[in-house]
Amino acid sequence: MKFFIDTASIQEIKKAASWGILDGVTTNPSLVAKEGRNFHEALKEICSVVAGPVSAEVVSTTTEEMVKEGRELSRIAKNIIVKIPCIAAGIPAIKMLSAEGIAINTTLIFSPNQALIAAKAGAAFVSPFVGRLDDISTEGMDLVRRIRTIFDNYDFPTQILAASIRNPVHVVEAAMAGADAATMPFAVIESLLKHPLTDAGLKKFLEDWQKLPQASRRG
């Protein structure tokens, strides 16, 4: 499963990239606004740090404007993926931009039919929002499972990018559900390796090692 970081913070992206397991970045207007930087400059910098896909979202809501904005965003760097919301005006934009060779991530996916339509329009990725469904007392991961079944039934090449991931359990479940990728906030990526038994076990190993006479510790 590919690991994407869900942030527009260049510090967080650099730190996660330095661990060597980062496959891409997703941003959205809320995350970009949080950083308070020029959108295109920030994207250019992010694309210079990460070689994999970097999702940049359009903020227009008509087909024509989305296509125009998508083309502009795609010119920032080769690895830009244009994020388009799953609304009626977005579908022809996905179709047109995909036909031009611009990879699309369809965002704000909350139902299997939305994912099916985005895949039919040629989207490279669909982003089901797991956490936001959980927030309204709906099993968010069921959506990922249902999309997986649909895409496998019809051999859609569209990748499932589990989004709105809030905790390490979401990551395990997304992997078990067969998501192609998961996008996570920095804190979630950081927490994936943590286990108290690992820390306690290592502490004990190192304490026991100290009990071995100095001369016996090296070859």
83 assigned to active site = yes
Secondary structure class of 167 (helix, strand, coil): coil
- Show Cβ contacts of residue 18 under 8 Å, excluding neighbours closer than 6 positions: none
Q: Is 9 in the site for ligand G3P (CB under 6 A)?
A: no
The whole-angstrom separation of Cα 41 and Cα 15 is 19
Residues 23-62 that bind ligand G3P (CB under 6 A): 26, 28
Closest CA relative to residue 113, chosen from 84, 86, 152: 86
Are 53 and 83 spatial neighbours (Cβ–Cβ below 8 Å)? no
Which of 56, 66, 144, 163 is the binder for ligand G3P (CB under 6 A)? 163
Joined together, the tokens standing for residue 176 give 């078990």
Catalytic entry in 83, 95, 203, 204: 83
Q: Is 129 in the site for ligand G3P (CB under 6 A)?
A: yes
Q: Is 131 in the site for ligand G3P (CB under 6 A)?
A: yes
Q: Is 114 in the site for ligand G3P (CB under 6 A)?
A: no
Joined together, the tokens standing for residue 85 give 């919301």
Closest CA relative to residue 120, chosen from 104, 101, 143: 104
Which one of the spans 67-75, 115-123, 161-169, 197-205 is the region binding ligand G3P (CB under 6 A)? 161-169
Which one of the spans 10-18, 89-97, 160-168, 188-196 is the region binding ligand G3P (CB under 6 A)? 160-168
Joined together, the tokens standing for residue 109 give 């996916």
The least CB distance from residue 166 to ligand G3P, in Å, is 6
Joined together, the tokens standing for residue 127 give 């982003």
Nearer to ligand G3P, 120 or 166 (CB): 166
The least CB distance from residue 6 to ligand G3P, in Å, is 4
Residues that bind ligand G3P (CB under 6 A): 6, 26, 28, 129, 131-132, 163-164, 166, 183
